Structure 1
Amino acid sequence: MNSDFALIMALPSESKGLFEQAGIQVHYSGIGKVNAAFKAFEVIQKTGCKTLLNLGTAGSSHFDAHALVEVSQFVQRDMDVSPLGFQVGVTPMDQEHPAEIELERYFEHLPNGICGTGDSFETGTSKVPCQLVDMEGYAIAKVCKKLGVRMLSVKYITDGANDTAHLDWEENLLLGAQKLLSLYQSVK
């Protein structure tokens, strides 16, 4: 990828050091929406990138484990102000940005889906319609929208977002890192 791109991932365990061994700079956000938003802002400000590429892991009961899926839209699965009359997933009083953040497709050969982001490790059915779940993507996408930076996102499905998700996630990290690195190198 050229210098207009910056790469962001949540954790070093998602890259297993493979990106660094290949000489690729990775910015790690840490877990959760607050950490992701802060790091995305910092990366955009420091690098001046025009595209922020988010690679990482996700759970899904829709897509098969080990699949690479391009995110076509991010939603918040844990924003719930429904007692005040708002739809689940909608941030009240935020008319500037819609609850659903659409992303441009770049990896046309990959399946695509809606990713629900939340500050919890999902092991059940999300409150908002989505096909995969993560813990950082929506926050990164919102920062990119606010700053006019294109965002692309591809997730490696590590688990079925069920009661064994935590075990499956750990077990599948190396294969995920290998597949994400291969994808990244194919578009250089």
Structure 2
Amino acid sequence: MSNLALIMALPNESKGIFESAGIEVHYSGIGKVNAAFKAFEVIQKTGCTTLLNLGTAGSSHFNAHELVEVTQFVQRDMDVSPLGFPVGVTPMETEYPAEITLTPYFSHLAQGICGTGDSFETGLPKVPCDLVDMEGYAIAKVCKKLGVRLISVKYITDGANDTAHLDWEDNLLLGAQKLHALYNAHFV
């Protein structure tokens, strides 16, 4: 696919596999602010028309080691409910809905709703979602605002529970291998 740029949160998620294959990866760092800034920078720098977000996520819905295409992003940590707003809704935001929907790209992958928040989730999110990450919603919003297509696939590393931090680290290499194989099969 021409005009494609690849963004991931951390080098831990690629384990050097993408770079060894000569694939340029843009790393955002952790969290929504870093992700938004980097997504904007990558789009401006590369002129890409499609941004591919590959990375890891936790889920109590999908099985560990599964690849899931995100078809919608929500904010699991936006909570202004004391002022009467539903959890997940940014107050006074009229231009974009709280849910950012993506057009599916893959027909063979499971699809899910990803809840993004600036915390490592170890329980049930306040907003209904199938998997959780820390960057996706911000990347999706930047892409939506700039008219760039976003394709996002997450490797499920953990159950978003009390052992999530251990499982995440243990499963990074296998995740990088599976994400690289997907990239090679569909974008090379």
Cα deviation, residue 108, structure 1: 1.1
Unaligned runs of 5+ in 2: none
Match of 1:99 in 2: 98
Matches within 5 A, 1:19-58: 19-58=18-57
TM-score (norm 1): 0.99
SS of equivalent to 2:97: coil
SS of equivalent to 1:63: coil
SS of equivalent to 2:65: coil
Match of 1:10 in 2: 9
RMSD of aligned alpha carbons: 0.5
TM-score (norm 2): 0.99
Measured in 2, the distance between the counterparts of 1:83 and 1:146 equals: 28
Measured in 1, the distance between the counterparts of 2:89 and 2:5 equals: 28
Identity %: 82
Measured in 1, the distance between the counterparts of 2:80 and 2:54 equals: 30
Measured in 2, the distance between the counterparts of 1:91 and 1:108 equals: 32
Query: In the alignment, residue 13 of structure 1 is paired with which amino acid?
Result: N
SS of equivalent to 1:123: coil
Cα deviation, residue 75, structure 1: 0.1
Match of 2:129 in 1: 130
SS of equivalent to 1:72: strand
Measured in 2, the distance between the counterparts of 1:53 and 1:75 equals: 18
Match of 2:138 in 1: 139
Aligned residues: 187
Match of 2:81 in 1: 82
SS of equivalent to 1:80: coil
Indicate whether 1:160 and 2:136 are aligned.
Answer: no
Measured in 1, the distance between the counterparts of 2:34 and 2:107 equals: 29
